[in-house]
């Protein structure tokens, strides 16, 4: 029986050592499908998920993760990759979806307006934000938008570094979906940032525009896999009611 959301959140811990027990590949795949349902910026879904089950690949990626226990003892791994370079392709996919979804029935004036606004967003706004060349145009847009922002609210994150952050934020939301899904069925995970990302890109044969968001070790926790009690700073130090 799956855990409730609250129980899964409470159960999830970063597991550093896993038992030598195989976990169900199909169940892990289902958790990855849940990851793909995560909220993401502009629904561009600038991510890819590499479900690693091959023993040789696991060893290679473990080495790239400095053979830390969470990688070395993992039964499977999930490598979450950002693909900011695919923004044009994903924008077109959204437009095709909107055309098909709204084209099934005769639209009211209100729905027709909503459809056109959505399509214009992907045809005009997204290219304005994402199009760049070596970071030059992103910086020019940043300066222009800062000036406009003196007079009215405006979106300001237009630099190359800003758009990378946007893609990685969305990927991190997907990672949390995945880890909570795994916790709900009694599987354990550990998100790892400590890795040689270039080496992992080579192992997975990823293109230049791809970036490693995180590597997640998966398995069943060993008794020694949780290194200590959970620590969080006092909630009153981070919660502000306005």
pLDDT in tens, 184-200: 999 999 999 999 999 99
- What burial letters (b/e) apply to 196-231, b meaning 16+ CB within 10 Å? ebeebbebbebeeebbbbbbbbbbbbbeebeeeeee
Asked if pLDDT for residue 167 goes beyond 90, the answer is yes
Q: Identify the band that residue 157 occupies on the pLDDT scale cut at 50, 70 and 90.
A: confident
Specify which of 56-60, 95-99, 126-130 reaches the highest per-range mean pLDDT. 56-60
Query: CA torsion, points 74, 181, 51, 89, in degrees to nearest 10?
Result: -150
């Amino acid at each position: 029986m799956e855990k409730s959301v609250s129980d899964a959140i409470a159960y999830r811990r970063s597991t550093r050592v896993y038992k030598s027990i195989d976990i169900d590949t199909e169940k892990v795949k289902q958790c990855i499908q849940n990851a793909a349902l995560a909220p993401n910026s502009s629904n561009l879904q600038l991510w890819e998920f590499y479900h690693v089950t091959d023993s040789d690949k696991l060893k290679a990626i473990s080495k790239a993760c400095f053979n830390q226990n969470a990688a070395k003892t993992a039964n499977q791994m999930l490598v979450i990759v950002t693909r900011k370079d695919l923004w044009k392709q994903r924008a077109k996919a959204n437009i095709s979806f909107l055309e098909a979804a709204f084209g099934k029935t005769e639209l009211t004036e209100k729905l027709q307006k909503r459809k056109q606004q959505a399509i214009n967003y992907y045809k005009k706004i997204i290219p304005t934000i994402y199009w760049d060349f070596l970071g030059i145009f992103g910086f020019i847009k940043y300066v222009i938008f800062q000036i406009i922002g003196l007079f009215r609210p405006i979106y300001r994150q237009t630099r190359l570094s800003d758009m990378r952050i946007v893609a990685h934020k969305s990927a991190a939301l997907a990672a949390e979906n995945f880890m909570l899904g795994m916790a709900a069925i009694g599987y354990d995970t550990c998100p790892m940032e400590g890795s040689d990302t270039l080496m992992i890109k080579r192992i997975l044969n990823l293109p230049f525009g791809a970036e490693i968001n995180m590597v997640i070790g998966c398995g069943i926790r060993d008794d020694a896999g949780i290194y200590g009690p959970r620590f969080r700073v006092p909630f009153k130090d981070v919660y502000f009611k306005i």
